[in-house]
Amino acid sequence: MFINREISWLEFNQRVLNQAQRAELPLLERLKFLAISASNLDEFFQVRVGGLMLLQQTGKFKPDLTGLSPSEQLERIRERAGAMINEQYKLLQTVLRPLMDDAGLSPQKLDELTEAQYAELEEYFLNNIAPILTPLAMEVEQPPMLPNLSLILGVELLPEEAQETRFVAITLPEVLPRRVPAAGLGRNGYVMLEDVVSTFCPLLFPGEKVLSTTPFRVTRNGDIAVAEEEGGDFAREMESVLVARKFSDCVRLELPTGTPDAIGERIAGIVGADAASTYLVPGLLRLVDFGQMAFEPGNDQHKVQAWTPCWPAGVDASLSMFENIAQGDILIHNPYESYEPVVKFIEEAAADPDVIAIKQVLYRTAENSRFIAALCRAAETGKQVTVLVELKARFDELHNLAQAEKLQRSGVQVVYGVKGFKTHAKILLIVRRENGSLRRYCHIGTGNYNEKTARIYSDLSLLTCNEHLGADASQFFNSITGLTRLMRFRRIYPAPATMKSRLLELIEAETQRALQGERALIRAKMNSLNDVEMMEALERAAEAGVRIQLNVRGICCWAPTSEKAQACTRITSIVDRYLEHARLFHFHNGGTPLVYMASADWMSRNLDRRVELLVPIEEPQLAHRIIEILDACFKDNTQASDMGPDGHYHPADTGRKKAYAMQAHLQRDARRRARSQESASMRVLEPHKPRK
């Protein structure tokens, strides 16, 4: 049975929201998950709803896997999203807000301030807020475009001796804090920015009467693709996409519940929103801002206890990364283990006089990225540095353009990717001169080269100087920079050339074993599943009796159809403090396990329209470790939700009486590994004492 992709995604976001419902979690952790669910909806409306609205406007009947037209999908989305929004605000107003009141973390109303506090706030407005505000008259021949996802205050004005009102929009800039500190209210005391501007905005309009103020928010279509013209300037074309996104159609208008109809219609007319795209929100707009409270200093009693990343057990901090890797392949599981060795790897390479070439793919990088800084230093010292910067990384396009320009100014050879495909592979190749010959060192990962997200995304890194993987890495970079076919690899399976065919081959092999009465097992961990060929292959495998265990964090468009297939299949999703991001695959293979890690999900876009990498983990100890991670996925009975035959999810029941949380287990396991290495190091350092 196929499941609609959009509804499946909304069900995933429901699982995120369910974390905010958990009474045993600290207050700020619950607020964090509430904010994440709101942020997820923002992106969903920009991309998925935006794309469907474009299809609807063109009149194209492009049914999804389940046969729904764009209009039918939009109708179901709006019903489901509307219910989710109501649930978000019910949780905030009836559960979290009273807890915030008790903790002294709720916003204050201006009418609750003393006269002195009110006067200080007015002075703060005049000195720190008003100079930044720009009121925009909207009822003019060419009204200005209002920004995407910003909080905007609509102001209805009546000029002196005038009969008709006029409407002005004031965008509340991102540089201003949403929670404005209020003098005399204590360390946590604050008032909301929109309340401050609403109260004191009459000071901006001398000679006019402010009749009403209404906050609102516009979401614009972000599903605008670059036109990759032959011989065109791709960077310039991407810049045009970013401009177009600023002026794209409104796909959602958010207004507070209780907004007078006349004002709501006025705003809708200005931004171009119809009734179906207008959402009345029963509370404060832009819930995503409240998530910041979980990351700010203080209030530790309302947060989960922090988990400190352990130094990876396979890395000796006293040695260089080249010495470490030369001793054998290294697997790092962040954020349980520190990502620092990966950063150290590129930084050492930049400074090492024996390194002659560095090649890397960058998809999403951090602000002030140490990877970018190291690559620049390497190029400036004469090393040959080639970097593929993927400009089509959605919503990171502007950042990636700026990073590409910075790299080019330092002498890095920058490539913008393969025409018609996103390059989503995570790979770094370093060529080093050793003992009169060249040796290749590689990093291949499931996550981005981003020090910030490496602290909150669960990913794996393989560091290796394996000859076959090094040769494949060279072939990969030659293919994507020289635009040759992704062929003749020794170990690696790249998409779109051979990854899908290899995965289908592995599934079919397990299917044949099951048909012959042998034990057959497929286990996979990924973010999303929607590729039709992969789902049909899984259905056939389950029908044949293959035991299938899928840990799919987000979208899953397959639910087994028959009772036999259902009995053989378990599909689970885990939402916890870290975002599950690694892609791991295990095939029983007659008792000789085949284990892989990848940059790709089992989605059509990844397997058919992106440049990705599937890498075998052949070192037995590392393969066993990945199998143990997969074991933990399917033992979880606290954070896991299992998909039922109808596509809906319910709390996982693994049959275990004792509570088991995968992420907590993996954190303990990382500590155990680190302590074990420390003990081993101490035993080596201790002098031998002769027995008496």
Active site residues: 424
Angle at the Cα of 277 from the Cα atoms of 276 and 282, rounded to 5 degrees: 100
Specify the DSSP element, H or E, that contains 80. helix 70-91
Q: Which residue has the tokens 């915030």?
A: 100
**CA-CA-CA-CA torsion sign (217, 223, 229, 235):** positive
DSSP state string for 426-482: -EEEEEEEETTEEEEEEEEESS-S-TTGGGTEEEEEEEE--HHHHHHHHHHHHHHHH
Angle at the Cα of 620 from the Cα atoms of 490 and 538, rounded to 5 degrees: 70
- By three-state DSSP, how is residue 547 classified? strand
Alpha helices in 94-192 (DSSP H): 97-103, 115-124
Q: Which residue has the tokens 């275990």?
A: 656
Alpha helices in 578-654 (DSSP H): 604-609, 620-633
Residue 664's identity, in one-letter code, is A
Give the burial string for 348-361 (b: 16+ CB within 10 Å, else e).
bbbebeebebbbbb
Do residues 394 and 584 lie in contact, with contact meaning Cβ atoms separated by under 8 Å? no
Tokens of 128: 């720190």
Q: Which is nearest to 556 in space by CA: 541, 580, 573, 574?
A: 573
Rg (CA), the chain: 28
CA–CA distances in Å: residue 145 to residues 169, 170, 243: 10, 12, 12
In angstroms, rounded to a whole number, what is the distance separating the alpha carbons of residues 506 and 538? Answer: 11
Q: Which is nearest to 372 in space by CA: 409, 422, 325?
A: 409
Tokens of 50: 């935006």
Do residues 214 and 259 lie in contact, with contact meaning Cβ atoms separated by under 8 Å? yes
